[in-house]
Structure 1
Amino acid sequence: MKENLRFGVIGGGSWGTAIVKMLSENLDQLSWYMRSDSAIRHLQKENHNPNYLSSVEFNVSKLHLSNDMNSVVAESDVLVFAIPSAFLEAELQQLSTSLKDKIIFSAIKGIVPESGLIVGEHFHDEYQIPFENIGVLTGPCHAEEVALERLSYLTIACADASKAELVANTLQSHYIRTKISDDIIGTEYAAMLKNIYAIAAGIAHGLGYGDNFQSVLMSNAIREMKRFIDKVYKMKRNINNSAYLGDLLVTGYSVFSRNRMFGNMIGKGYTVKSAMMEMNMVAEGYYATKSAHLINQNRIKKTKTPIINAVYQILYENKNPKKVFRKLTEKLN
């Protein structure tokens, strides 16, 4: 692996903005793809992203900003993708520059709908990127707390430990602690599943369930997550580590969690469409719910997943949240 690798970030949302902030602490130059030309112009003039984490001020002399993904890919050795999974493949379709020999890290917490795969598997199967060149960047970590420089922890997973170490060292700072993992599949599935459970926590709150029930819901959720991940890819892992349980808890309980917010609105009686319109942000768990349901039906042969099933019934079968959760409470322990 050559020295002085060049980094590029793909995505101009809140998490992409937070990742650029973290990388900027340690890099003199960084490429950043944002789809919005007006956001780029604003950032160049005012030193902050007008749409996400606007309190973060950037030294724009460090940044190569572009709405041409090919330019950013061509100039980067390590690419961190932070585009919502539902839109990833559409964005990748504009690529004419090869991803071959690039190191790809996914900061995306979801399933690519076109392939039904987590992002790492999608890059491997659809773009022939070897697994040793694919990694995952996961929490527990909210973009909003990164913006405030509150102490946060990241897990960086890659089959090649040296690449995981490289990215971990480039991200860490006085407010970011990092650790590495070799569980690339498990950490990425955990990052996808925790958004579904956060929607469940939000629905429960919207319906008026209290902290006592929330604790039981989260306790059952981590066990359900373990069953699901073990079926997909069995290896020795401690599900209580921060990349699994920690990320689940912060997403399920935090006021910054858009998935919990989305679920809360559903519990209060919003339709899926009206909740999405009011939030004006992507709740990854909505798409993840359908993907997890299909994986459970087709790939892992009906693992016991009562929480995922309940969220699916509410979001995709238009079933009454109050009635669905009443039945769910009888299945939890």
Structure 2
Amino acid sequence: MEKVTVFGAGSWGTALSYVLAQNGHDLLLWTHRQDQSDEINQHSNERYLKGVRLPDSLKATANLDEAVAHADIFVLAVPTKAIREVSRDIRERMTKKGLFVHVSKGIEPDSLKRISEMIREEIPADLIEEVVILSGPSHAEEVVQEHPTTVTAACENTQAANRVQDLFMNSYFRVYTNTDVIGVEIGGALKNIIALAVGITDGLGYGDNAKAAIMTRGLAEIARLGVKMGATPLTFSGLSGVGDLIVTCTSVHSRNWRAGNMLGKGKNVEEVLDEMGMVVEGIRTTKAAHQLAAEYKVPMPITEALYAVLFEGVKPENAVEELMGRMKKNEMEDLIDLL
């Protein structure tokens, strides 16, 4: 049994807490809201996981001092924009080394840092045992129904990755390990951009042909940038690459797909965010990917088209028309570039 604190009581943080509690670990779930903590201690979190009864052993707190003191394994399940603040808050209360597991998927605009890099910038090395990324095709709504789910624990330190694998793995939640931290983080972050784009084409009523095209060419964009940044090409054919891309682009559980779908149907970004009422990581990540594409001189036409829709007021149908009218190209060029 391990002592674990999960920071962030949204759908994914709660679902992972469900898994950890069922696995018999001494689990504490932190939320900044006292009312949410009280509700979770009554075995529900209706806003994020409607109709789900949480295990009796799943305890919550809104007391950050208690949350940090409870464990030496910290699972960060907060949005990308909150990673630095929460990391700093944890750092101020730590008295010994901790193993950090982050489960968010995004890139910080302007600094262009991956989440593991942000954590390491905010927490001194002498307080970090290791940082492990847990990522893959996984909807919280299905995990708490105990539907078969597979994810990847990524860390260059295989011992730390194996520890996280043992922490989460059970009969319905299977965990693989991977040493390609860059690839796993980039794949997990950028698939949200492609899911937004797929949602837009669905909202426009373009059908399955367009969806398949965006997903396939989107994966090429993700891999092209990832490899340029130092990732291993094969990672993008795995769970945190094509696996996560498929589930995020095709499921009604996907926030990014739903947001894109509303954009395709004519709503603007502000209206979409108001109606969603939850973080849509792909919007913020689109800005970061647009900046990364320029920095690494990597062509990312789908990302650029989405950036134009989100931040430059271009109509979705005009962005699609621009994509379809691009210069002729040989499909195999992308594959050759990755070898």
TM-score with structure 2 length normalisation?
Answer: 0.91
Q: CA deviation at 1:87?
A: 2.3
Matched, 1:219 2:216: yes
Counterpart of 1:68 in structure 2 is 63
Q: CA deviation at 1:109?
A: 0.5
Counterpart of 1:123 in structure 2 is 119
Counterpart of 2:170 in structure 1 is 173
Look up the equivalent residue of 2:114 and give its one-letter code.
I
- Separation (CA, whole Å) in 2 of partners of 1:184 and 1:161: 11
User: Quick one: percent identity of the two aligned structures?
Assistant: 33
Counterpart of 1:329 in structure 2 is 324
- Separation (CA, whole Å) in 1 of partners of 2:102 and 2:25: 22
Look up the equivalent residue of 1:75 and give its one-letter code.
H
Change (3 A) 1:18 1:129: farther
Look up the equivalent residue of 1:142 and give its one-letter code.
H
8 Å contact kept, 1:99–1:129: no
Counterpart of 1:90 in structure 2 is 85
Change (3 A) 1:48 1:206: same
- Which blocks of at least 5 consecutive residues in structure 2 are unaligned? 332-339
Q: CA deviation at 1:78?
A: 1.1
8 Å contact kept, 2:236–2:242: yes
Counterpart of 1:264 in structure 2 is 261
1:253-308: per-residue Cα shift (whole Å, max 9, x none)? Answer: 1111110000010111101000010111111001100111112223x1x2010011
- Alignment equivalent of 2:298, drawn from 282, 286, 303: 303
Change (3 A) 1:99 1:110: farther
Change (3 A) 1:113 1:37: farther
Report the secondary structure of 1:116's partner residue: coil
Report the secondary structure of 1:179's partner residue: strand
Moved over 6 A (4+): none
Q: CA deviation at 1:18?
A: 0.8
- Separation (CA, whole Å) in 1 of partners of 2:102 and 2:254: 19
Report the secondary structure of 1:180's partner residue: strand
Report the secondary structure of 1:112's partner residue: coil
Report the secondary structure of 2:41's partner residue: helix
- Separation (CA, whole Å) in 1 of partners of 2:146 and 2:70: 29
Matched, 1:243 2:240: yes
- Alignment equivalent of 1:30, drawn from 27, 32, 35: 27
8 Å contact kept, 2:109–2:287: no
8 Å contact kept, 2:199–2:258: yes
Aligned length: 326
Moved more, 282-291 or 91-100: 91-100
1:135-182: per-residue Cα shift (whole Å, max 9, x none)? Answer: 101111111111221111111111111221121122122211111100
Matched, 1:105 2:101: yes
Change (3 A) 1:54 1:129: farther
Q: How does 1:151-166 map to 2 (within 5 A)?
A: 151-166=148-163
Counterpart of 2:336 in structure 1 is none
TM-score with structure 1 length normalisation?
Answer: 0.92
Report the secondary structure of 1:103's partner residue: strand
Q: How does 1:43-58 map to 2 (within 5 A)?
A: 43-45=40-42, 47-58=43-54
Report the secondary structure of 1:140's partner residue: coil
Counterpart of 1:42 in structure 2 is 39
Q: CA deviation at 1:234?
A: 3.8
- Separation (CA, whole Å) in 1 of partners of 2:288 and 2:59: 35
Counterpart of 2:335 in structure 1 is none
8 Å contact kept, 1:39–1:51: no
Look up the equivalent residue of 2:272 and give its one-letter code.
A
